Structure 1
Amino acid sequence: MDDKNFFETGIQALEAQSFSQLIGAKLIQFKPGEVILEIPIKDNLLQQHKFVHGGVVSYAADNTLTFVGGSVLGSEVLTSEFKINYVRPAAGEKIIARANVVYSGARQAVCRCDVFFQDFEGKEKLCATSQGTIVTVTP
């Protein structure tokens, strides 16, 4: 499959996720072993201190981990487990999650994702880092 069709497959998968659509997630890069997902920061994604809710940051890490795992294992995948470390609160223009594959076997991939926020001056700052195991599922 060429790069354009590969990317289109990723777009279709994201569009099939109603929660991803609800929060405005966008797939920026989808290629084998590398994925970038962005989420515009809107008021309805903030917690009481006006930072992006931790659940949104966690979603960004989890979904990007799963997409990058699926980029090497195929589309029938799920997150088996993941861990997240929140580094600092996120606020600004958007969330940017960048993931890569650390190891991939026949049925599982260990992946890493760093989540950044872009502040109002356009600077990126790390807000969380995560690692997860993505596994294939049989229908």
Structure 2
Amino acid sequence: MDELQQRIVGSFAAQGLMATLGARLALVQDGEVHIEMPFSPALSQQYGYVHAGAVTSIVDSACGYAALTQAPPGHEVVTAEFKTNFMRPAIGRRFVAVGKVHSAGRMLAVCTGEVRAFADEGGDYKVVALMQATVVFVQR
């Protein structure tokens, strides 16, 4: 694992919310990060779907960590804004948030993310949410 991946793994491990959600890093590479979260009744809303807050949390973090892979040296990241479209109810056994950087400059990155719902262990999924996010690079 290279230094950047170690930094992201360490930062992710320090997030209490990700631990509460049962989320884990599934992929870290330049400009792209995947975060996986299992279904839990504790994360559901009144109809039994995974709550939008949990879905949004994992995709926001995936976008933020994707941006961190392209941040200038000595910088961290914070989300400045995001918009999420929910495509369908979040029904599945596990969910994977995919964050990707589309443009990174000196001060900010524009990212997109999607949350995929997997009904079983196979590779078939349905996209349940799409995000567009602006992530700001802040000097440590």
Shared topology, TM-score over 0.5?
A: yes
**2:23 aligned with 1:25:** yes
1:3-58 Cα shifts (integer Å, max 9, x gaps): 54432221111110011111111111111101111111111011111100010111
**2:129 aligned with 1:131:** no
Give me the whole-angstrom Cα distance separating, in 1, the residues matched to 2:95 and 2:38.
6
1:49 matched residue in structure 2: 47
1:79-116 Cα shifts (integer Å, max 9, x gaps): 00010000001112111011111101011000000111
Runs ≥4 residues deviating over 3 A:
none
> Is the CA contact (8 Å cut-off) linking 2:78 and 2:136 kept in structure 1?
yes
Superposition RMSD on alpha carbons, in Å?
A: 1.4
> Is the CA contact (8 Å cut-off) linking 1:6 and 1:30 kept in structure 2?
no
What count of residue pairs does the alignment treat as equivalent? 137
TM-score, normalization by structure 2: 0.91
Q: Which runs of 5+ in 2 are unaligned?
A: none
> Is the CA contact (8 Å cut-off) linking 2:35 and 2:59 kept in structure 1?
no
Q: Percent identity?
A: 32
Q: Which runs of 5+ in 1 are unaligned?
A: none
2:83 matched residue in structure 1: 83
Letter in 2 for 1:20: M
**2:1 aligned with 1:11:** no
2:102 matched residue in structure 1: 102
Letter in 2 for 1:114: E
Cα gap change, 1:20/1:121 in structure 2, threshold over 3 Å: closer, same or farther? closer
Q: Which range is displaced more, 71-80 or 33-42?
A: 71-80
TM-score, normalization by structure 1: 0.92
